[in-house]
Structure 1
Amino acid sequence: MNTPFIRNHQYNVIKKQTDFLQKTLRTVADRNVLKTVRYRAAANIIEAIPNLTNDQQQMLEQISAFESAYDFQRFLGALEPYLEPFPPITLKQIQKLFPKNKKLKVPDLGSIDFRYVTYLSWVDIATNKLFIVYPFEGQFIGIEGRITPTNKKGYCLFCNRHQELAFLTVKTKPANASPDNISSIGQYVCLESDACNQSITDIGSLEKFIFSVRK
């Protein structure tokens, strides 16, 4: 039985290294350069996934020996059974995360392939609000904020992809502060969370933001 050990953002690292290595093979003839790039691609993948077993590491290091586009595509496909999906979540669990929103609109959970989800997110167009659900240590964290399209491109805080952005503003209250002591934290994020999830390779900035506004 295949035991999942690759999270979505780590799989994105693998895809990124696979794409870079393929492009290098098409454009570079120097064998020493290719040898270095092959080694670096495998090393970057191993570094992105801590606590690998010997078998898991050997499986991932195969990338350094591939030549054709078919080899790389087959490699990525063979890793899919090892993807660790976003933890199972129900509509009721999501509703409990946002108790003040009595008419909360939630995406169709049955239509989402949770293998490729690092954070669950959706926009309520009627209220211009963005909702984020993130799993951490066996629990879910819910973040709600107001979103304002910027109509310009920039780098998303979460995935660092150059794309059309929106400005997300989340109200927060310092610990032990009075009810009136409320401030806001804002960041630029992708308008399209699906594309963001397909591009994110590091969860550091995402988690830092979520913990900074967590109630």
Structure 2
Amino acid sequence: MTTPFIRNHQYNLIKKLVGQLQHACTTIADRKVIEAVRQGTLMKISEAFPEATEQQRQMLESVSAMQRTEQFQAYLHELEAYVESFSQVTDQQMKKLYPKVKKLKAPDLAAIDRRRMTYLGWTDIASNRMYLVSELDGKLVGVEGRFTPTNKKSVCFLCNRHEEVALFTAVTKSKPANAPADYYKAIGNYICASSEACNSNITDTAALERFVRDVVGEDRS
């Protein structure tokens, strides 16, 4: 039995691709079209796991022989056992991530299913603040910003899905050369109002990593 190797966003991607393949198999009569969808599914899954072992590849590519709805469902159910958990975040770590926040109202970390997380996000409605913890280069990084509800649906910059969003605005620590001491720049993006919904939708971490690097002031080169 192989150890967990699938991250939440990768599992979401597999679910999306398998759903498309299942739909093709059950609604399209042209076998060539179905085969094209099947090959596209395999290619995208393979691209998402460039470092997979032979055993892991065989497990992922077993979807190639499936035709029926129950087969696809069993495949996804089997892969669930290999989803990695997001890093454990302790109360002490939380204090280090947000040292300037004296009364941090963190969520109940023990009640969260960390296998369903690409990032940990929550809001403090009383102060209109949003907190986001992500893994960057093997380390936990915390981002804090203003959370402004919009009461409308739009495209989330993280998961790229049409959901109810809020404007998340964070001040970047990055400063250009020769910037004055009072230099100030905020980065704002529309993000899912529900972090749980966002985590269930996200299939790629590029936008998340780019945003976090921009805020914490790390060079992306």
Cα RMSD after superposing both structures: 1.3
Q: Is the 8 A contact 1:17 1:41 kept in 2?
A: yes
SS at match of 2:81: helix
Q: Structure 2: any 5+ residue segments left out of the alignment?
A: none
Letter in 2 for 1:205: A
Q: How many residues align?
A: 215
Cα distance, 1:146 vs structure 2? 0.2
In the alignment, the residues of structure 2 paired with residue 22 and residue 131 of structure 1 have an alpha-carbon distance, to the nearest angstrom, of 37
Matched with 2:95 is 95
Matched with 1:187 is 189
SS at match of 1:82: coil
In the alignment, the residues of structure 2 paired with residue 143 and residue 173 of structure 1 have an alpha-carbon distance, to the nearest angstrom, of 11
Using the aligned pairs only, state the percent identity: 49
Q: Is the 8 A contact 1:174 1:182 kept in 2?
A: no
Per-residue displacement from partner, 1:115-148 (whole Å, max 9, x unpaired)? 1100100000110100000112231110000011
Q: Is the 8 A contact 2:2 2:56 kept in 1?
A: no
Cα distance, 1:179 vs structure 2? 3.8
In the alignment, the residues of structure 2 paired with residue 179 and residue 160 of structure 1 have an alpha-carbon distance, to the nearest angstrom, of 36
Which runs of at least 4 in structure 1 moved beyond 6 Å after TM superposition?
none
SS at match of 2:169: strand
User: If the length of structure 2 is used for normalisation, what is the TM-score?
Assistant: 0.93
User: Against the structure 1 CA distance between its residues 59 and 114, is the aligned structure 2 distance closer, same or farther, given a 3 Å change threshold?
Assistant: same
Q: Is the 8 A contact 2:167 2:188 kept in 1?
A: yes
In the alignment, the residues of structure 2 paired with residue 206 and residue 183 of structure 1 have an alpha-carbon distance, to the nearest angstrom, of 18
Q: Is the 8 A contact 2:174 2:214 kept in 1?
A: no
SS at match of 1:13: helix
Per-residue displacement from partner, 1:141-185 (whole Å, max 9, x unpaired)? 100000111122111000000111111111123347444111111
User: If the length of structure 1 is used for normalisation, what is the TM-score?
Assistant: 0.95
Q: Is the 8 A contact 2:171 2:185 kept in 1?
A: yes
